[in-house]
Amino acid sequence: MVADSVEREVLIEAPPDVVWRVITEPRHIERWFVDEAELDPRPGGQGLLTFRHTPTGEHLYRLQVVAAERPHRFVYRWMHSDGVHPAEGNSVLVEFTLTAEGEGTRLRVVESGIQALEWAEDEKSRYVQDHNNGWVRILGRLQDYAPEVAAGR
Amino acid sequence: MTAATDDRLWTAVAEPSRLRLLELLLEHGSATPSRLARELPFSRQAASKHLGVLNRAGLVAGHREGREVRYEVDPERLAAAARVMNGVAARWDRRLAAIKRIAEELHAQGGSSI
């Protein structure tokens, strides 16, 4: 079991192929995800995601497609440093699974390797990153209780 | 200190009964071993021992209360980590809701055949 991950899903009243286009075509990605997207949605394909208006200014992220099985599965890695080949441990893995359900689609997303996402930006905190590995791992199991804790109890 | 701390953390929660204990403690906010043992399938002594492990891992803090020790989770550490996880989940909820809206709009326009 990988606890260092977040899983979410939604039921969409549109067939898988339409949902596939929404998650892989830049003109749609720019409506639900980032301000500007470039993407070659084939295995090994590269992408560039631009967030323009964040509290800390503009951010660019490279993305690499790991798997693209239209219209069932789309997987990519991102959040790795420039010039680094994305792999487990240095990047965040995002996996979309599309399953036909009735006339619609169940879209499931799993994001894993989150400690890389949350801590990599803070260069000075290698310590924090190491320190939090074990900590973040257990949180998947504690998530049910987290809201009240996060609320400041 | 990091590797050793990690190991202690992981060892502390890798044991299912300790994780259950930690979850229960989160529900209560703070509690003594006897209080927790009442809701768990093990003795006060066992609860005490497990809490000692969690204490050494820095997950809970204890202070003496009469003959017993009252334990509570370290809210700062837990909240910081919980925010990380909740933030990621909340972001995906927003994105999935938007994907749903766009795909259904596209489908309604006959986009599936384009």
- Under 8 Å between Cβ of B106 and A22: yes
Say yes or no: ipTM exceeds 0.85: no
Inform me whether the pLDDT recorded for A117 exceeds 50: no
d(CA A126, CA A61): 20
Assigned token pair, B10 = 């992981």
Taking residue A75's Cβ as centre, other Cβ atoms within 10 Å add up to 17
* Residue B20 pLDDT class (50, 70, 90 cuts): confident
Cα first-last separation, chain A: 29
The answer to whether the Cβ–Cβ distance between A145 and B26 falls below 8 Å is yes
The answer to whether the Cβ–Cβ distance between A15 and B7 falls below 8 Å is no
For B106, the closest of A18, A127, A141 (CB atoms) is A18
> Which of B92, B105, B114 best probes binding to A when mutated, by most A CB atoms within 10 angstroms?
B92
d(CA A74, CA A136): 25
* Of B28, B40, B78, the residue nearest A141 (C-alpha): B78
Cα first-last separation, chain B: 59
Inform me whether the pLDDT recorded for A146 exceeds 60: no
- Composition of chain B by helix, strand, coil, percent to 5: 70, 10, 15
- Which tens digits make up the pLDDT trace of B60-109? 889 998 888 999 887 666 665 555 556 667 778 888 999 999 999 999 98
* Residue B1 pLDDT class (50, 70, 90 cuts): very low
- Which tens digits make up the pLDDT trace of A1-48? 234 677 888 999 999 999 999 999 999 999 888 889 999 999 999 999
pTM recorded for the entire structure: 0.58
Average pLDDT over chain B, rounded to an integer: 77
Pairing of strands A46-54, B60-65: unpaired
- Under 8 Å between Cβ of B59 and B48: no
Residue A1, SS3 per DSSP: coil
The answer to whether the Cβ–Cβ distance between B78 and A13 falls below 8 Å is no
**Chain B residues within an 8 Å CB radius of A71:** none
The answer to whether the Cβ–Cβ distance between A152 and B111 falls below 8 Å is no
